[in-house]
Structure 1
Amino acid sequence: MSEREGGFWAGAKVEWESELFEVSAEWLTDVSGNSDGQRFDLGLEKTWEFGEHIMLTPYVGASWQDDKNVDYYFGVRDNEVRFDRPAYKGESATNIEAGVRGVYQFDQHHSVLVGVEVTSLADEIKDSPLVDRSTQNAVLVGYLYTF
């Protein structure tokens, strides 16, 4: 298989916040020229504060990727075909994700972040011979120092 490069993405993001929830929309394009692809993400989240130290943020979202991006990362070119890996041409796809982030703020400068996320992969990605599952799971742990 030919190596797939990660790329460098640029675009724009807008957010709208109300008392009920926060909506975000982000458009990105691969300016590195590796995939020449585009993606559009739409998200909905709500943050609750529990006391002075704990914040909890559940969220849901959808991530659309155009056919160039899906084909670059999940496609199998004719020269990459093997008996157990047929050719595959990627098409545009929309993944659905859901998760929750939690923050514990020790004081005004130090915080710890923990998150879990599950992404349901679109059929256009799941059908690739390079993919052997229907979901992608992630766990995030981080430390934040605020100046």
Structure 2
Amino acid sequence: MIKPNKYLTSITMVLSMVIIKNSAADDLSIGAAVAIKNSPYKGVSSKASPLPFVDYDSSYFFIHGLGAGVHIYKDDHNEFNLLGNYSPMEFKPGDSDDPQLKELYKRKSTIMAGFSYIHHDVWGLIHANIMRDTSGVTNGMTSDVGYSYRFEWDKFQLTPGVGVSWSSKKQNEYYYGISQQESRRSGLNTYDPNDSLSPYLQMTLDYPFLTNWKASINVRYSALSSDVKNSPMVDKSDMSSLGIGVNYKF
């Protein structure tokens, strides 16, 4: 059984980029993907991770990758949803080759819950959500707002998207801050980040083949905010990911 980890994030983007759906009720898709995502932390290498994927949507309930929830309201163009999702962001000191980062404490993944809004029309799709940690790990909040548009050539579907992600101060303190105790252990300076905005670009290419099968390729680029990239734990100014997957729609 494959344990959830930070590379699961890419699976959601591979097969359901920002919940881009225009499906009938009770749609079910299953599949698998290979995802590669670089870590913002010093000395932590990129890894490829094969993972399963499930996507289900009915008139009242849905599962999209790492998230599940209920439709509070849904019509031909709008969705208001109550949702929860597993947030796989984490830091394991043993994964880093940096001797100072090995002296820091572990940062755990968590469960987020909140609300989302989706509107889709002939001119594209907009989405927005606001989420809060529910497990007491970070006590922080995140939000994401974006726009995407799908182009079609024969069987090929190309969907570029743009957006911005927000993380609260508490969220950033947990994943990128360094306490006085950690500073004494590691020799790194203490660090207390504020909230942050991270713009991103992404592109998904879908290719239906045979009957009910679809292959997908997704790439995403995010620019890290100064409050994140200035952390002594971080040695990058951006992050990128690549995912390749295939799924079958019942």
Name the structure, 1 or 2, with higher relative contact order (CA <8 Å, separation 6+). Answer: 2
2:163 to 51, 58, 61: 61
Matched, 1:101 2:170: no
1:132 to 235, 244, 247: 235
Q: Deviations over 1:50-80 (max 9, x none)?
A: 11x2110000010010000011000011111
Q: 1:21-36 maps to which residues of 2 (within 5 A)?
A: 21-36=124-139
Q: Deviations over 1:105-140 (max 9, x none)?
A: 103411111011110001110110111010001001
Match of 2:181 in 1: 79
Corresponding residue SS for 1:62: strand
Q: Deviations over 1:18-48 (max 9, x none)?
A: 2212110011111111001101100110011
TM-score, normalising length: structure 2? 0.57
Q: How many residues align?
A: 145
Regions of 4+ moved over 3 Å: none
Task: Give, in whole Å, the separation in 2 of the partners of 1:90 and 1:6.
Answer: 19
Question: Which residues of structure 2 form unaligned runs of 5+?
Answer: 1-103
Task: Give, in whole Å, the separation in 2 of the partners of 1:108 and 1:62.
Answer: 36
One-letter code aligned to 1:11: G
Bigger proportion of residues as helix? 2
Match of 1:9 in 2: 112
Task: Give, in whole Å, the separation in 2 of the partners of 1:108 and 1:29.
Answer: 40
Task: Give, in whole Å, the separation in 2 of the partners of 1:143 and 1:26.
Answer: 27
CA RMSD, Structure 1 to Structure 2 (Å) = 1.0
Question: Which residues of structure 1 form unaligned runs of 5+?
Answer: none
TM-score, normalising length: structure 1? 0.95
Corresponding residue SS for 2:189: coil
Identity %: 26
Corresponding residue SS for 1:112: strand
Matched, 1:143 2:143: no
One-letter code aligned to 1:111: K
Task: Give, in whole Å, the separation in 2 of the partners of 1:29 and 1:140.
Answer: 27
One-letter code aligned to 1:142: G
2:151 to 48, 63, 87: 48
Corresponding residue SS for 2:228: helix
Task: Give, in whole Å, the separation in 2 of the partners of 1:36 and 1:126.
Answer: 21
One-letter code aligned to 1:54: F
